[in-house]
Structure 1
Amino acid sequence: MIFRSPWPDIEIPAQSVTDFVFANAASHAQKTAFIDGPTGRTLTHGQVHGMARRVASALLKERGLRKGDVFCIFCPNLPEYVVAFHGVAMAGGVVTTASPLCTTETLAEQLGDSRARFLLTVPPFIGVALEAAKAAGVEEVFVFGEAEGATPFAALVAEEAGLLRIEIDPARDLVALPYSSGTTGRAKGVMLTHRNMVAMMAQLETLWGDATEDQSLAVLPFFHCYGLLAFVCMTVRRGLSCVTMPRFDFEQFLQLIERHRVTSLMLVPPIVLALAKHPLVAKYDLSSVQFINSGAAPLGEALQNEAGARMGVEVRQGYGMSESTLAVSGRRRDEDPAKPGAVGRLLPNNEARVIDVATGADLGPNQRGELLVRGPTVMRGYFGNVQATDATIDADGWLHTGDVVVIDDDGEFFIVDRLKELIKVNAHQVAPAQLESVLLTHPAVADAAVIGIPHEETGEAPKAFVVKRAEVSEAELVAHVAAHVEPYARVRAVAFVDAIPKSPSGKILRRELRERIVV
């Protein structure tokens, strides 16, 4: 059975991302677009557009950027991040977005895998950036501000130079290359075309309706599809105002809501948890908030209701993944409240199937199985990895999400489980195999397996099961892993066992490990 959206299909313009985003730029050129939360520095919509044009021109004429060349942005949330992204896109380049938490090793791997020519960073990250760039053969490193060994980003916006018109094929040409672990293994470049992103923005407009006076707060990282589409693109497209946060601090988050009378919040479950339970919430006037959406990880029904009651605003959920550009399901603002625990209904122009995990047979409403999605926002594939692409998108164009869902008679989606072995820590995907390989580098470890365990703040957290070769403590192994991975990926607990359960073919039987945990 094929499930379809309850909403009629929409027209998806055959435009580049920047043509679509800046279509109405002249009508709100004087309006503030972005406000840097800590400093109050602002950029108007006109400044964002004009600076992006200068960046595009400089990259094309002075740096010889060619259509399809990759430009990496390794920065926290800043107003100028938006300028950089759209400047590269306008020039026909491809932006690969890197997490500010990347280690030198992880960043170098992404730069090399994506074949990045250029890298943009900030002074506090310059050491990691330069080392990774050198290892990956990056041509030039830019920096916001100044730092030794890097070219000031200001050089790209120094003077107006006539913009060369780049012909874009929206259906084929890439514009963004975020990295995702997908359903298995290490991170891979998700190839998003101009059409993918324009389609996603058009779908989001049907959900959000006419909210031209929204004041949003960008606490979500711009490197993630959630932040990239919701703020870097949609703020500009709709002529809205957005306050940016370069790093998350809960009290500053509350202060900024109060100071700027923020109306719209796009959040992840740990922040929703804090809104529901943290005593600091009572100190601030948050009455301006009219809309709260939670995504990137499942949000429990009880927590959803508790946060909504405290804030006086319904907390809604959506579902999606990088491989679908962002959202697969959601709920329109003008609709009645969602069913508790639901993540909305299928967005326009999309199709879905639910299949039996064992047989692959199609299932109907109220039956539990793996979700498959097809539509204009499904990625073109994984960059340079045909095998991984073929394992994720079948010959008929169905994206196999690896998530187990139930779609009820009203078309409401409920995410109930995951097939994939990835551990979802907030919006980050952590591959157990990566942590296992790090553990096995310790001389005292004979064998290891990692699974995700429930965690109130992060949704899930990695727990390791270790067979010892020599005496070693839990604290020593936790520290060993932490020294080699990003902070969100660190192991939170270690259990020592006599053997790791495995199948005859050597596959770790993680289900048996989960059965040993008493929650």
Structure 2
Amino acid sequence: MRIEEAVPAIPGVPLYDLLFGDLSVDERDLPAFVDGPTGAVTTYGQLVDAIDAFAGALSVRGIGVGDVVALHAVNSAGFAIAFHGILRAGATATTVNALFTPREIEKQLRMSRAVAHVTVSPLAPGSVPAAQAAGIADDRIVVLDGWNGFLSLAQLLAEGSPALEIAVDSASGVAVIPFSSGTTGVPKGVMLSHRNLVANVQQCVERIHVEPGERVLAVLPFFHIYGMTVLLDLAVRVRATLVTMPRFDLTEFLRVIQDEKVSYAFIAPPIAVALAKHPLVDEYDLSSLRTVFSGAAPLDERLGHAVADRLGVEVLQGYGMTELSPVSHAMERGRSSSVPLSSIGPAVPGTEVRIVDIDTLDDIEAPSEGRSASGELWVRGPQVMLGYLDNPEATAGCVTDDGWLRTGDIAAYDADGFVFIVDRLKELIKHKGYQVAPAELEALLLASDRVADAAVVGETLEDGDEAPVAFIVPVGDADEEAILTELNGQVAPYKKVRRAVFVDAIPKSASGKILRKDLKATLVGGE
């Protein structure tokens, strides 16, 4: 079955033009950003002027269409200035996870062929050497808030170079290259066009309903596609105010909501656990908060209702993938009472959906009542990526010739078109809202002299989150602590393996594919 909704108007313009092209004189004085820790305000006028100046500074350095600029920073107005300045100059941004190790940063910069690098001082000690190791010259490294004599945002803006009028093909021009593990395997660069992002912003405007002037909490990272589109770009499009936090800290999170009168908070499920259970929540006045929207991983229905009941707010959830820019499904604000919280809602406007039998690839029909049989969720719409960077084989395995993106998630739907994620066909582990690719960790383990063979799977925790667990065939008398210390020193914190299980052999199919379900079954069995 296919579910289709009306396609929203999708202007054929670059993302900058959608967000700022109609900025009025009166809107220039509206607050675009409030820095949560300090209260510093950046108006829309200051924001767009700085974006233009940043773009001009890149242009005079010969950076433009076809060039990739890496952005490794935490949430702030500076991030937005650099991100949209890169796109305004006609270049492509590749956003780098703030938790990445220098090895991981260097790898992404090399894969994306970045010609310049932008970071911030708290990340600079690891970020700058990684950029240098990737071959980026010092005069093309920017530390937004200043560090060790490298170019700063203030210096670039002071140059006063005007932004050039750059011709960008919105349909084919690559705006951003975030990295994703897709449905399996190691991270790949996802090429998203200006049209992809413009379309998804418009789709979110019509479904998520952030209001002009509303204060929106921005704790989810802008470098992640969820924060990039649903927070940064959506809020700017409707002239809301983003209250930024550089990282999640529960005390600061609650204080910022209270002091800044935040009414809309976008979160991931681990934050929902704290909101539902932590006693600290009762010490703050959260009466301004009206809506909590959860994404990045499935939200348990009971947990969602616990948050709604405790805070007296509307709780919503949605679904997406980096390859979908990212949103394909979302519950609608103001209509949560008519949509089961266990669902991800209906497709956003302009999106077609199929649920496909994983063996026959036949469509599974919607039932007249109850839920349908389960199958793989397929999505088609203007938000589907252009493809994976330098990887046509992986693209072909994910996107069909007629444009359907195979999500790798097992879903069902009901007669009303509400979709329910019921299982994961793909091998990704979702830990604290981040994607962890087993293949990446397995490659690192297999590179160790202490490991003969290995497999990594996700173990479900009490709060419904997952954490990586390694099954290892050790060499000789190697011990767990030594192996995990070696592995975890090479990866970002959210990728760290929490424990290892020593086994005599890794179960595999006749074709050599790791039988992950067999391994996960032993975890359920308590071994």
TM-score when normalising by structure 2: 0.95
Structure 2 CA distance for aligned equivalents of residues 299 and 329 of structure 1: 14
| Secondary structure of 2:286's aligned partner | coil
Q: 2:40 is matched by which residue type in structure 1?
A: R
Find the counterpart in structure 1 of residue 37 from structure 2.
38
Per-residue deviation at 1:429? Answer: 1.2
Give, in whole Å, the separation in 2 of the partners of 1:158 and 1:46.
16
Q: Displacement of 1:230 after TM fit?
A: 2.3
The one-letter amino acid of 1:230's match is V
The answer to whether structure 1 residue 345 and structure 2 residue 351 are counterparts is: no
1-structure distance, mates of 2:115, 2:354: 40
Residues 210 and 387 (structure 1 numbering): CA distance in 2 closer, same or farther, change over 3 Å? closer
Q: In 2 relative to 1, CA 161–436 (structure 1 residues): closer, same or farther, beyond 3 Å?
A: closer
Which amino acid letter does the alignment assign opposite residue 298 of structure 2? P
For 2:407 and 2:264, the matched residues in 1 are separated by: 28
Partner of 1:449: 455
**CA distance in 2 between partners of 1:129 and 1:161 (Å):** 27
Whole-Å separation in 2 of the counterparts to 1:465 and 1:305: 36
Report the Cα distance in structure 2 between the residues aligned to 1:267 and 1:236, rounded to whole angstroms. 18
* Secondary structure, counterpart of 2:29 in structure 1: coil
Q: Measure the CA separation in 1 of the matches of 2:71 and 2:351.
A: 30
Shift of 1:455: 2.1
Q: Which residue of 1 aligns with 2:385?
A: 379
CA contact (8 A) 2:297 2:433 kept: yes
Change (3 A) 1:473 1:458: farther
Tell me what 1:329 maps to: 329
Match in the other structure for 2:50? 51
Shift of 1:301: 1.2
Supply the distance in 1 between the matched residues of 2:487 and 2:216 (Cα, whole angstroms).
Answer: 37
Q: What is the deviation of 1:174? A: 1.2
Q: Secondary structure at the match of 1:15?
A: coil
Q: Which residue of 2 is the match for residue 233 of structure 1? A: 233
Aligned AA (2:187) = A
Coordinate RMSD, CA, aligned? 1.4
Q: Determine the C-alpha separation between the residues in 2 that align with 1:38 and 1:438.
A: 38
Q: Structure 1 residues 454, 102: closer, same or farther in 2, change over 3 A? A: same
Give the corresponding residue for 2:102: 104
How far off is 1:260 after superposition? 0.4
Q: Which residue is 1:487 aligned to?
A: 493
The equivalent residue for 1:304 is 304
Q: How far 1:426 moved relative to its partner?
A: 2.2
Distance 1:327 1:291 in 2: 18
Corresponding residue number in structure 2 for 1:91? 89
Code of the residue aligned with 2:458 in structure 1: it is G
CA distance in 2, matches of 1:162, 1:497: 62
The equivalent residue for 2:369 is none
Quick one: distance in 1 between partners of 2:46 and 2:462? 42
The answer for the alignment partner of 1:138 in structure 2 is: 136
Q: Distance in 1 between the 2:61 and 2:159 partners? A: 15
Structure 2 vs 1, CA of residues 374 and 211 (structure 1 numbering), >3 Å: closer, same or farther?
same
- For the 8 Å contact 2:364–2:375, the answer to whether it is kept is yes
**C-alpha displacement of 1:182:** 0.5
Change in CA separation of 1:335 and 1:387 when aligned onto 2, cut-off 3 Å? same
3-state DSSP class of the match of 1:151? Answer: coil
- In the aligned structure 2, how far is the partner of 1:141 from the partner of 1:489? 27
1:476 maps to which residue?
482
Q: Are 2:178 and 2:225, in contact at CA under 8 Å, matched by a contact in 1?
A: yes
Distance 1:459 1:37 in 2: 27
Letter in 1 for 2:96: A
Whether contact under 8 Å (1:15, 1:170) holds in the other structure is yes
**Which of 49, 74, 77 is the aligned partner of 1:76?**
74
The Cα shift of 1:422 comes to 1.1
Partner of 1:117, secondary structure, is strand
What secondary structure is seen at the aligned counterpart in 2 of 1:467? Answer: strand
Residue in 2 aligned with 1:23?
Answer: 21
Q: Does 1:515 align with 2:513?
A: no
Letter of the 1:234 counterpart: L
Aligned partners of 2:493, 2:420: CA distance in 1, in Å?
30
Residues of 2 paired with 1:305 and 1:299: CA distance?
10
Between 449-458 and 417-426, report the one with greater CA deviation: 449-458
Contact 1:270–1:458 (CA under 8 A) maintained in structure 2: no
**Offset at 1:477?**
2.6
Counterpart check, 1:180 vs 2:186: no
SS of the residue corresponding to residue 160 of structure 2 reads coil
Q: Aligned ranges for residues 158-237 of structure 1 at < 5 Å?
A: 158-209=158-209, 211-237=211-237
Task: Describe the superposition over 1:215-254 as per-residue Cα deviations: whole angstroms up to 9, x where unpaired.
Answer: 0111100100111112321222111111111121110000
Opposite residue 381 of structure 2, the aligned amino acid is G
Deviation at 1:393, TM superposition (A): 0.7
Corresponding residue number in structure 1 for 2:468: 462
CA distance, structure 2, for counterparts of residue 498 and residue 305 of structure 1: 44
**Cα offset for 1:42?**
1.7
Q: Mapping of 1:380-395 within 5 angstroms?
A: 380-395=386-401
Retained in 2: the 8 A contact 1:209–1:333?
Answer: yes
Further displaced range: 130-139 or 280-289: 130-139
Structure 2 Cα separation of the partners of residues 209 and 314 of structure 1: 13
2:356 maps to 355
C-alpha distance in structure 1 between counterparts of 2:343 and 2:231, whole Å: 24
Q: Which sits farther off after the overlay, 193-202 or 151-160?
A: 151-160
Deviation at 1:130, TM superposition (A): 2.3
Cα pair distance change 1:410/1:150, threshold 3 Å: same
Which whole-Å CA distance do the structure 2 matches of 1:187 and 1:445 have between them?
23
Question: Given the superposition, is the C-alpha separation of residues 147 and 422 from structure 1 closer, same or farther in structure 2, using an over 3 Å criterion?
Answer: same
Contact 1:425–1:458 under 8 Å retained in 2: no
Q: Given residue 257 of structure 2, which amino acid in structure 1 is its aligned partner?
A: I
Once residues 226 and 450 of structure 2 are traced to their aligned partners in structure 1, the CA distance between those partners, rounded to angstroms, is 40
SS at match of 2:407: strand
Check whether the contact 1:24–1:237 (CA below 8 A) recurs between aligned residues: no
5+ residue gaps, structure 1, are none
**Which residue identity lines up with residue 32 of structure 2 in the other structure?**
A
State the match for 1:121 in structure 2. 119
Question: Amino acid of the residue matched to residue 17 of structure 1?
Answer: L
Specify the alignment match of 2:271 in structure 1: 271
Cα distance per residue 1:66-122 (max 9 Å; x no partner): 212111110111111111111111111111100111111111111011111110111
Indicate whether 1:424 and 2:436 are aligned: no
Query: CA separation in 1, counterparts of 2:64 and 2:209?
Result: 37
Once the two structures are TM-superposed, the CA of residue 457 in structure 1 deviates from its matched residue by: 5.0
Deviation of 1:149 (Å): 5.7
Q: Which amino acid aligns with 1:383?
A: L
Which whole-Å CA distance do the structure 1 matches of 2:21 and 2:181 have between them? 34
Aligned residues: 516
> 2:55 touches 2:85 (CA, 8 Å); kept in 1?
yes
Q: Give, as a single letter, the amino acid of the residue that structure 1 aligns with 2:244.
A: T
Question: Structure 2 CA distance, aligned partners of 1:480 and 1:162?
Answer: 49
Matched residue SS, 1:226: helix
Taking the aligned partners of 1:158 and 1:458, their CA distance within structure 2 comes to 49
Q: CA deviation at 1:184?
A: 1.6
Letter of the 2:114 partner, please give it.
Answer: A
> In the TM superposition, what is the alpha-carbon distance from 1:313 to its structure 2 partner?
1.2
What is the aligned counterpart of 2:504 among 478, 498, 501? Answer: 498
Gaps of 5+ in 2: 367-371
Structure-2 residue corresponding to 1:150:
150
Distance 1:88 1:434 in 2: 29
**1: CA distance, partners of 2:458 / 2:436:** 9
Question: Take 1:329 and 1:15, find their aligned partners in 2: how far apart are those partners?
Answer: 24
